[in-house]
Each structure stands twice: as C-alpha cells, then as structure tokens.
Amino acid sequence: MYRSTLPSGKGLFVILLLFCAPMHVMSQSLHAKYGSEFLRVGAGAKALSMGGAQAAISRGVSAAYWNPAGLRTVENMQIMYMHSERFGGIVGYDYGSVALPLPQDRGVLALSFFRQGVDNIANTLDAWDPNRGENGGPKANVEQYITRFSATDMAWYISYASEQSPRDVPIYYGGSLKFIRQKLGPFAHAWGYSLDLGAQGSWNEWFWGIQWIDATTLRKVWTVNQDQFDGYEEVFGDQTPEGSDEYVRPSLRMGIARGFQYKEWAFNTAFDILSMFEGREAYYLNLGSWSLEPRLGAEGVFRDRLSLRVGLTDLYQDPLSGWTMRPTLGMGLEVYKFAIDYGFMGFAGSGAELGSTHRVSVRLVWD
C-alpha cells in the first residue's frame, strides 16, 4: 500500500505486522483476527513479569485493564505510568492511568490511556518515477521527495467498580468503556468503541476472576485520505484502498489464584487462560476458530516491600522449534508512597532475533 524504508528488515517486519494487517481488509466489512492486538501488551510491569496471569489477582489502578472488578481495592487516589519497548526499541508503548475512590457512591472510577507507536517511517510514494528506466526507479535527488510519518494506536478507558458485593456474596463487579483511535500517518485513521466487563470472587482459600473483553464486539470505522493516493494506481498499478468497518469478536479471560504465607514471605500463584474466537489457527492452541492461551505466574513478597516474580506466557507453535512458551521475570520495590516495578520477557524459538521486551512502571498512592 505504501513503500517505506527502515533501518533494518526487522523494523519492516514490525510495521507490516502491527499496522498493515488492518489496512489489508479495508475494502470490505469483516471481523479481524488482530484488530486490537496493540492492547494485548497490557498495563504494568508486574503483570508482564507474572506472564499476564492477572484475572483473579489484579488489584489497584492497573485492574482497569486486567479485570475492572479489581479496582474496588483502591482506597486512595492511585496514579500509574508505564513505558515499554519491543522489537529492539522500534515499537514504543506508553500507558498511564489514574483511579479515584468515590466515597459517597462506594465505588472507584478510573481513567486510562494507551499509546503504541512507530515513529519516523519514510513515505516514499512521491519518490518513485515510473518513467525512469525500463521498470521505473527513484527520482533524481530522491531525498527531497521523502517525508516522514508515524503509525500510532491509542485507546482510552473509562472504568468503574463497586466496592459492594450483592447480598453479602463475595462477588464483585466492574466494567470499562473503551475508545480506540488508530492512525497510519496522513493516509488513514479509525475510531472504535466497545465495553469490557469483569467479576472477581473467592472460595475458601482460592480466588477467581473472569473478564469479558469486547463484550459488545469492538467496532472500528476506517477512513482513508484519498488525496494522499493521488496517482497511486497509475504509478504502482495497485487499487487505491478504501475505508470500511472492522469488527473484533468478544473474548474471555479467566483465572484462578491462591496465596499462602511462609515466615516473612507472602506467596501468590496464578493461572489464567485467554479464550478467543478470532480464528487464530496457525500457531496457537486451538479448536477451529476457538483459540486458547494459557498463562502462569508466581510472586513472592518480602515484608510487603520487595517482590520477586516469574511467569510463562504466549504458548504457540513455532514453525522451527515446535511448541514454545516465553518466560518472564521481574521484581518490584515499594518505598513510601511509590511502587516501582520492572518486567522482562525474552522471545523464544525462531522469534529470538526480534529482541526482548523491557517494561518499567511506577505507581503513586496519593493520600
């Protein structure tokens, strides 16, 4: 659809994977397998280091993403910021959120923002001369015809959870109304919206959680700036893309967890399974269009101050090395009103050349 130059083939792969796939389906209205893929990065370094197993144990401000029912534990205003880099630093990801308790309502309100971006992409549409040479070629003084743009995905969450359980049953509820904004430089943009619902509860020493993601089905409306493609068909011989509607089907995140104490250490173990119906049949554990992604995490907390975490995530079938899971690890430190967390995920199998994910998040509790 457009030609771009990046520092390496690795960068080009990322652009195609994250941003070109949605544009490929613009000529018609249909469901998309990866229509909200950028949101799967998640919120908070703690979650990454535990493999993303958070449905049952997510608490505090980041619960607006993992399971909004967990927001009920917010007793004072909490603010969180996170920065993450993937694919050797090519893809930047930022997340910020604030949660406010509502004493009169006995509930908690949270506002969250997500941004994923690839910046400084070269636009070479105007740099090609179809009449130069036998098969065409770049124009003379080609650099003056090259411009730069960014491809960005953004999301806003408005979340609410009640501190009260119905009829004294230990089950709590929450929800997130979310809006999506995606922009591919000056070429195209989209708006989308949907609703997430969540519940958490306990049974004896066990905790459970369930989140219905995109319960209303995520709908995105793409608009293409036709002026940017003036002469595109004549120069490149491809059809000019058109806008369309895109739909992302609902999915379920379900989890169980258990905690126990050993001397001055508190331990938490959690297991999640993400159930999707998008038809990810190529590399994931699946039954037809129904795919399953298990996640496992463990955490040890010393004196409520120092945390050590490990996890496993992303079970998939690697074309070269077979079934593979990606290991995660990290740590956290709470000092005064601040909690600082670090998470790390290394790519496994043939994806190892894509580099590793490093994530740092900071949370502030404001009395």
Q: Out of 2-11, 156-165, 218-227, 228-237, pick the least confident.
A: 2-11
Q: What confidence tens digit (pLDDT) does each residue in 27-38 have?
A: 345 677 667 788
Compute CA distances 152 → 149, 308, 309, whole Å. 10, 33, 31
Return the structure tokens found at 181.
């904004």
Task: Please give the average per-residue pLDDT across 72-94, as a whole number.
Answer: 85
Q: What is the pLDDT of residue 283?
A: 62
Residue pair 281/33 in contact (Cβ under 8 Å)? The answer is: no
Q: What is the pLDDT of residue 324?
A: 79
Task: Please give the average per-residue pLDDT across 248-263, as a whole number.
Answer: 92
Q: What is the pLDDT of residue 195?
A: 94
Q: How confident is the model at residue 5 (pLDDT cuts 50, 70, 90)?
A: very low
CATH class of 9-366: mainly beta
Q: What confidence tens digit (pLDDT) does each residue in 90-108 have?
A: 788 899 999 999 987 789 9
Pairing of strands 251-262, 322-335: unpaired
Task: Please give the average per-residue pLDDT across 247-274, as a whole number.
Answer: 92
Q: What is the pLDDT of residue 306?
A: 95
Pairing of strands 285-287, 188-203: unpaired
Q: What is the pLDDT of residue 228?
A: 67
Q: What's the predicted TM-score (pTM) here?
A: 0.79
pLDDT at position 362 over 90: yes
Position with higher pLDDT, 298 vs 203: 298
Among residues 274, 348, 270, the alpha carbon closest in space to that of 309 is found at: 270
The number of helices, as runs of H, and strands, as runs of E, in the chain is 5, 20
Mean pLDDT, the chain, integer? 80
pLDDT at position 343 over 70: yes
For residue 260, the cross-strand partners are: 267
Q: How confident is the model at residue 253 (pLDDT cuts 50, 70, 90)?
A: very high
Compute CA distances 106 → 19, 75, 152, 359, 366, whole Å. 41, 10, 37, 33, 18
Q: With b meaning 16 or more CB within 10 Å and e meaning fewer, what string describes 27-50? A: eeeebbbebbbbbebbbbbbbbbb
Q: Which helix (H) or strand (E) element contains residue 346? A: strand 338-346
Pairing of strands 245-248, 30-31: parallel
pLDDT at position 55 over 90: yes
Top-ranked range on mean pLDDT: pick from 49-58, 80-89, 344-353: 49-58
Q: What is the pLDDT of residue 17?
A: 38
What whole-number distance in Å separates Cα of residue 92 and Cα of residue 366? 28
Residue pair 194/248 in contact (Cβ under 8 Å)? The answer is: yes
Q: What is the pLDDT of residue 105?
A: 74
Q: How confident is the model at residue 177 (pLDDT cuts 50, 70, 90)?
A: very high
Task: Please give the average per-residue pLDDT across 203-225, as a whole number.
Answer: 89
For residue 110, the cross-strand partners are: 99, 159
Q: What is the pLDDT of residue 316?
A: 75
Position with higher pLDDT, 129 vs 344: 344
Q: What is the pLDDT of residue 141?
A: 74
Q: Which residue in this structure is represented by tokens 């120069």?
A: 235
Q: Out of 253-262, 265-274, 291-300, 342-351, pick the least confident.
A: 342-351
Instruction: Tell me which DSSP letter residue 12 carries.
Output: H
